[in-house]
């Protein structure tokens, strides 16, 4: 990519600690451009994934996509002091929500066996087989973009696939986090809320 990991790590350190306005502004400009450079990879991933899934008549309920907001990036760095910005793999994210667990497992099978042409598959994180402690369940695929444009080549983007029920649970956690101004999504905040959502998820699926 146009900016190497070390450059982005450094920019991330500056915006989290620098008291020099000029340094901060320059770092923010770099991060914003780096963030935007994930768009071509995200566009291509969406097109190629859907072209792989359509012939298999995958039962898709909805799709969505986003570039991670700067506020979300800063927040993630703030609550994870050991994290480096250049290592974030979800700056560009695409989500596929399917109707039920059968469709989810079929989608995982298809995408595990068929890698989009313009990407390398970096890894699969299956939070269905091994749910997070919070109760979160989904399947994440991390892809690395193969582009002839040096500015965007190597961009990492994330795919999330989940069921309607899993999606509703995740949206409820996010909403409760906004209402209570606590980072419930990151398994932090009120023990009462965290326990409640954990009980809800495990009572549904176990």
pLDDT band at 64 (very low <50, low <70, confident <90, very high): very high
* pLDDT at residue 59 in the model: 83
> Quick one: three-class SS letters along 41-77?
HHHHHHHHHHHHHHHHCCCEEEEEEEECCHHHHHHHH
Q: Which domain holds residue 56?
A: 5-205
The enclosing domain of 25 has a CATH number of: 3.30.460.10
Identify the weakest region by mean pLDDT among 51-60, 94-103, 105-114, 149-158.
51-60
- Number of separate domains in the chain: 1
Q: Specify the 3-state DSSP secondary structure of 143.
A: strand
Q: pLDDT, tens digit, for every residue of 10-22? A: 999 999 998 999 9
**Which comes out higher in pLDDT, residue 168 or 62?**
62
* pTM of structure: 0.87
* pLDDT at residue 187 in the model: 61
Cα–Cα distance, 148 to 25 (Å, whole number): 30
């Amino acid at each position: 990519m146009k900016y190497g990991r070390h450059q982005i790590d450094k920019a991330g350190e500056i915006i989290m600690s620098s008291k020099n306005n000029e340094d901060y502004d320059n770092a923010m400009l770099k991060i914003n451009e780096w963030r935007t450079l994930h768009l071509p990879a995200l566009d291509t991933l969406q097109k190629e994934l859907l072209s792989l899934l359509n012939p298999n008549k995958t039962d898709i309920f909805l799709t969505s996509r986003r570039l991670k907001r700067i506020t979300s990036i800063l927040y993630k760095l703030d609550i994870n002091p050991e994290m480096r910005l250049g290592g974030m793999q979800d700056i560009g994210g695409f989500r596929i929500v399917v109707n039920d667990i059968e469709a989810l497992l079929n989608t995982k099978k298809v995408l595990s066996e068929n890698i989009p042409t313009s990407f390398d598959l970096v890894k699969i994180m299956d939070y269905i087989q091994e749910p997070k402690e919070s109760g979160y369940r989904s399947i994440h695929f991390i892809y690395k973009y193969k582009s002839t444009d040096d500015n965007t080549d190597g961009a990492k983007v994330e795919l999330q696939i989940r069921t309607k029920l899993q999606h509703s649970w995740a949206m409820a956690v996010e909403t409760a986090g906004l209402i209570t101004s606590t980072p419930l999504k990151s398994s932090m905040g009120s023990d009462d809320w965290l326990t409640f959502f954990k009980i809800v998820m495990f009572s549904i699926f176990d």
